[in-house]
Amino acid sequence: MKWARLFATMVAAAAFAGAAQDVSNAAEVAPVDVQFTDDGVTVSLTGMAGNPEEGANVFKNRKLGNCLACHANKAMSKELFHGNVGPELDGVADRYSVPELRAIVTDSKKGLNPDTVMPGFYSLNVGVHVAEQFQGKTILSAQQVEDVVAYLATLKE
């Protein structure tokens, strides 16, 4: 499994070199203030519902979530470069509730597995292999996280 980890780290480093979000909007929950409970993150990071179509875009866009680098799902079978470092996300909404999905995307180390190679997308603790431009910033904005969560919630079998 070592090569998979190395590959994932390389993918993550390359993938996120182009994007960084300033943490600035006062109406949003700040990354350090996100409350993780046993049920996940129960409060929307923006106070609003996400948009699943925008979320699909964040999911496949290499400069945004680039989730496809590690995760396949049938709804995206026409997109190039499906990774299989992470599990397929078909039916993920049957396996997890929306608060759980929000916790996983916000900070997978808290929401899923402390040792995961999956980046925390709305966390200031993104890991050691992170370019300087990300220090003090999150990979996705609160709105983009909500949009991705809304998209994941459509993946039912």
Residue from 54, 85, 110, 127 touching ligand HEC (CB under 6 A): that is 85
Residue recorded with tokens 């409350």: 35
**Alpha-carbon radius of gyration of the chain:** 14
Cβ-based nearer residue to ligand HEC, 41 or 92: 92
Q: Let me know how long the chain is.
A: 157
Cβ-based nearer residue to ligand HEC, 35 or 113: 113
Q: Which two tokens stand for residue 49?
A: 């519902």
Q: Is 36 helix (H, G, I), strand (E, B) or coil?
A: coil
User: What would the x/- binding string for ligand HEC be over residues 29 to 58, using CB under 6 A?
Assistant: ------------------------------
End-to-end CA distance of the chain: 29
Q: Which two tokens stand for residue 84?
A: 């299989």
The binding site for ligand HEC (CB under 6 A) comprises 8, 11-12, 59, 65-67, 69-71, 85-87, 89, 92, 95, 101, 104-105, 112-113, 116-119, 121, 148, 152
